[in-house]
Amino acid sequence: MSNPFRRARPCVVALAAATCTTLLAACSGGGASDTVGGAATSGAADGSGGTLNLYAFSVPKVGFDAVIPGFNDTPEGAGVAFQQSYGPSGDQSRKVAAGAAADVVSFSVEPDMTRLVTAGLVSADWDDAAHHHGVAFGSVVAMVVRKGNPKGIRTWDDLLKPGIEVVTPNPFSSGSAKWNLLAPYAAESDGGTNPAAGLDYVGKLVGDHVKTQPKSGREASDAFLQGQGDVLLSYENEALFLERAGDPVEHIVPEQTFRIDNPVASTTKGANVARAEAFVSYLFTAPAQTILAQKGFRVTDPAVAQQFASSFPTPTKLYTIDDLGGWKKVDSTLFLKDVGSIATIYDAASK
């Protein structure tokens, strides 16, 4: 069976201490927190094995909270404590590049990892094929609606109906925002073969229907749960987390959507490099992959993915970043601030 989440370079997450993240995590039942610079400490280990600083984008917190105890039960992870920081992927990556001490980084999109490679903080071979090209888990872009789907949202075209308000974060800070926009762009442009059609759709979506732009995927979820908008664009695993927490929402995986690849890596400058490498390696083992799948993530181990195949719908067309030419092309042509096609759409909409 081919790897369903083949490639997306890890993005490094920065650490900063702020009590608001801890409070937000508590309010959300221990789920993902996207508060910028938020930090939390795992009490699962006694610290005799040292401490790992984990910098990540917010959405996988629920997954890391579940796999860390499993790692602590291994010989390599015995006694290891974790200091965790969660926030918008781009913001986290920039913080680590600016000097925040990180041992393990987990980002939403590849360019946030590339930034750290350029800075000499992550090895250039972080995306080695032996570890599924640096992607331990991922998801697909989904639509979250109110319970019962009162607006009848099913397709990308439904988002452009008069009066429909869409919640999605800002792509200048959030990696999830980029995935959220790439899904309809790919669907409407036939995988990038008709970019004008894709950009026309994104222009209408952002200009007429996106009324709020939170900084991160978690903040977008909070805004939606507080009553803003009719539809939330999000990761499928985040939608599952909200549903399992009892929130009055449901989600739709469109027939045409986008595969999300979330990269992870250890840094080369951390104080506990060997333990960090061991933790990253553990994420690719069958026990960790099983835990992540149970938490709603689409994992990259073929055997575990097959085991959970019935838990995840199969879209008619699942586009990938490779379909659009890879992250280097996509980021420079679509998202580069002031010049990218989607970036200019957002700039125009904010004026």
Burial (CB count within 10 angstroms: exposed 0-12, middle 13-18, buried 19+), residue 189 = buried
| 8-state DSSP, 132 | G
Which of 182, 210, 207, 187 is CA-nearest to residue 197?
A: 187
Average pLDDT over residues 123-127: 95
DSSP per residue, 142-211 = EEEEETT-TT---STGGGGSTT--EE---TTT-HHHHHHHHHHHHHHTTTTTSHHHHHHHHHHHHHHTEE
Record the tokens describing residue 343, joined without a space.
């970036």
Residue with tokens 């221990």: 30
Q: What is the pLDDT of residue 54?
A: 98
Give the span between the Cα atoms of 215 and 115, in whole angstroms.
19
Banded model confidence at residue 11, pLDDT cuts 50, 70, 90 = very low
Q: Do the Cβ atoms of 5 and 110 come closer than 8 Å?
A: no
Give the span between the Cα atoms of 172 and 99, in whole angstroms.
20
- What CA–CA distances, in Å, run from 145 to 27, 149, 168? 21, 6, 13
Residue 10 has pLDDT above 60, yes or no: no
Phi and psi, residue 43, nearest 5°: -100, 15
Banded model confidence at residue 233, pLDDT cuts 50, 70, 90 = very high
Q: What is the pLDDT of residue 44?
A: 53
Give the span between the Cα atoms of 220 and 173, in whole angstroms.
12
User: Considering the chain, what is the average pLDDT of its residues?
Assistant: 88
pLDDT higher for 251 or 269? 251
Residue 22 has pLDDT above 80, yes or no: no
Give the span between the Cα atoms of 26 and 24, in whole angstroms.
5
Give the per-residue SS3 of 20-53.
Answer: HHHHHHHHCCCCCCCCCCEEEEECCCCCCCCEEE
Average pLDDT over residues 299-327: 96
pLDDT in tens, 179-191: 999 999 999 999 9
Residue 283 has pLDDT above 50, yes or no: yes
pTM value is 0.86
pLDDT in tens, 74-96: 999 999 999 999 999 999 999 99
Residue 38 has pLDDT above 90, yes or no: no
Give the span between the Cα atoms of 291 and 77, in whole angstroms.
16
- What CA–CA distances, in Å, run from 174 to 16, 23, 56, 74, 83? 17, 21, 12, 33, 22
Banded model confidence at residue 40, pLDDT cuts 50, 70, 90 = low
Banded model confidence at residue 41, pLDDT cuts 50, 70, 90 = low
Sign, CA torsion 276/177/131/291: positive
Q: What is the pLDDT of residue 210?
A: 95
pLDDT higher for 27 or 283? 283
Banded model confidence at residue 48, pLDDT cuts 50, 70, 90 = confident
